[in-house]
Amino acid sequence: MKNIAVIGAGTMGNGIAHTFAQSGYKVQLIDISEDSLKKGMDTISKNLDRMVAKEKITEAQKNETLENITTFTEVSEGVKNASLVVEAATENTELKLKIFKNLDEATSEDTILATNTSSISITQIASAVSNPERVIGMHFMNPVPVMKLVEIIRGYNTSDEVTNTIMDLSKKLNKVPVEVNDYPGFVANRILMPMINEAIETLYNGVAGVYEIDTVMKLGMAHPMGPLQLADFIGLDVCHSILEVMYDGFKNPKYAPCPLLTNMVRAGKIGVKSGEGFYDYSESRKAEKVSSQFSS
């Protein structure tokens, strides 16, 4: 397995492309937007510069990593000769089904098709292809080059051969793969998102403020960041979408998004990427200043 195609040049896509390229694989990074591809490559370059500055890699290794990545705006061109395609597009079921239907037509039958979805059913995504045994979930964590975990999710029809291949490949990337079964939210988000949602409920009910909730979880539970800061980092829109997928899948009210979360998403206050969420990021990307909405 030498050629890897990655669909989507956003946060997760460029991180996945970076990780494969740094491990010596030839990567075809695909996005319909030239601007997104440029931003993605700029991000990869900046992240590699930080690694050089910290003496984790050499300048030569940085250049080799960048040379391993080629960009494409056409899926059919980008997936040519790929042994594995990793889809990392927006967390939207209809979009993913459309992409996989196109991949079914554009790739050979022995190409493994992986999705980086964080909550959507692998079995449902696999229904868009003629041979669903080659479809698997490969859920990387953000930031991809740093985080060790990869959730490997078997769909109902995913073959043992494909699963074993992806488990082995993840180890070659110096990651720790954990195999899980296909249920809404898998393991990571099934546990994480209700915690984040409960933290938002705690704020919504006036039990404590943003800083206080996060401090309790950081100092009392040894979490590296509080749940509200983490929600901002993930994106409140992404958290909301994942909770809706789980609520729809389980029909259990405990997964229903908190009304405060819903309103913040509607207002466009979705965290770091919008400049404001539970914290104000207008001056710093660090969660140092609580949003004025919650600071009075």
Q: Residue 55, by phi and psi: left (phi above 0), alpha (psi -120 to 50) or beta?
A: left
The fold of the 189-288 domain, in CATH, is: N-(1-d-carboxylethyl)-l-norvaline Dehydrogenase; domain 2 (1.10.1040)
In the predicted structure, residue 81 carries a pLDDT above the cut 80: yes
Mean pLDDT, the chain, rounded, equals 97
**Rounded Cα distance, 67 and 72, in Å:** 14
What mean pLDDT do residues 194-210 have? 98
Given this model, what pLDDT does residue 1 score? Answer: 83
In the predicted structure, residue 46 carries a pLDDT above the cut 80: yes
Residue reference for tokens 């404001």: 276
In the predicted structure, residue 296 carries a pLDDT above the cut 90: no
- Best CATH choice for the domain 3-181 from the list 3.90.470.10, 3.40.50.300, 3.30.460.80, 3.40.50.720: 3.40.50.720
Q: Which residues are catalytic?
A: 118, 139, 151, 189
Query: What is the distance, to the nearest Å, from the Cα of residue 192 to the centroid of all Cα atoms in its chain?
Result: 14
What mean pLDDT do residues 45-64 have? 97
142 annotated to bind ligand = yes
249 annotated to bind ligand = no
Domain range list for the chain: 3-181, 189-288
**Rounded Cα distance, 21 and 27, in Å:** 6
91 annotated to bind ligand = yes
Query: Per residue in 166-184, pLDDT tens?
Result: 999 999 999 999 999 999 9
Q: Does this model's pTM top 0.85?
A: yes
Confidence of residue 13 (pLDDT cuts 50, 70, 90): very high
199 annotated to bind ligand = no
Q: Which residues contact 157 (CB under 8 A, 6 or more apart)?
A: 123, 126, 132, 133, 135
What mean pLDDT do residues 66-74 have? 98
